[in-house]
Amino acid sequence: MGRRRGFSLLELLLVIAIIGVLIAIISPSLEKATERSRVAACSSNLHQIAIGFNTYASEFNSRIPVGPGSASSLDAARPWNTIGSHQLWIGSLASYDGMGGLVPGGWITDVRVFICPSDDDRGLKNNIKGMIGGTGDAWGSYAYRQMDQRSGGLLTTPGTNGVGNAARALVLDWQSAGPAPYAHGSHDTSEYLNVLYADGHIQYFPNDDRDFGGRDKDYGAMPGSYLKRLDQVWVNADWAETQSVDSAPKLP
């Protein structure tokens, strides 16, 4: 009876190398598939938020929820309700802000819908319930427009933005590369973006050039550059509904 022959060291190394090559080939595809599933989950969240907006508007003569009209800590010349951001609760004022206004009346019952599964801040989903209503500020994954670059306060008639186009974009996946607490990337690769429009439909866009968000260099002087960049993001999102975002008009 012959002796069983095992793998030689060379053969073993060859098998390991082949496995490594296969992993290198498959990994990007798996990551893209995973990220696309996260984008789909974000879209599902936005759908639930859209239902919340419509229910809220039906009870308040088509109005959208907004934050307090007092001067914000970001810019004393701009009230909280004119700054679109991902803030939900203002601890210092004990006040809901932005989409957070959907919570107290039960228009949104599960606040975890405010968190994208691929948000860079992994602790948000687990802690969001405790953050809203506390002494600190609470933030979600999605930027909500409020009255930023929007001349009308009704869901059905949003008015126009600063360049005269219909202000139809309402919520978008946050793509801020600014300093904390503004730094939120809803998707790890920052390649994709969902935008919720005023009529409730959601569109999906590539975001390779960060047309819907900011790079670090856009935030050299806080908060002025942050707010200016955010204003342009809303103009871009309005334009992208029907035309290429690359051709979006620029604010002065």
How many helices (H) and strands (E) in the chain? Answer: 3, 8
Per-residue pLDDT of the chain (252 residues; tens, 9 = 90+): 555 555 676 767 777 777 777 766 665 555 565 666 666 778 889 999 999 999 999 999 999 999 999 998 878 888 999 988 888 999 999 999 999 999 999 999 999 899 887 776 767 777 787 788 888 888 888 889 999 999 998 998 899 999 999 999 999 887 666 666 666 666 555 567 889 999 999 998 877 666 676 554 454 555 667 788 888 889 999 999 999 888 899 888
User: Cis bond leading into 206, ω under 30°?
Assistant: no
Residue 46 backbone phi and psi in degrees, to 5: -65, -35
3-state class (DSSP) for residue 141: strand
Cα-Cα-Cα-Cα dihedral sign, residues 181, 186, 187, 189: negative
Type of residue at 218: D
Q: What stretches of 48-158 adopt beta strand conformation (E)? A: 85-90, 95-96, 138-144
Type of residue at 175: Q
Type of residue at 111: V
What local confidence, expressed as pLDDT, does residue 222 receive?
54
The sheet with strand 202-206 has its strands ordered as 95-96, 85-90, 138-144, 169-173, 192-197, 202-206
What local confidence, expressed as pLDDT, does residue 224 receive?
62
The C-alpha atoms of residue 48 and residue 33 are separated, in whole angstroms, by 23
The C-alpha atoms of residue 141 and residue 176 are separated, in whole angstroms, by 10
Residues ≥6 apart with Cβ < 8 Å to 87: 67, 97, 98, 100, 137, 138, 139, 140
What local confidence, expressed as pLDDT, does residue 198 receive?
93
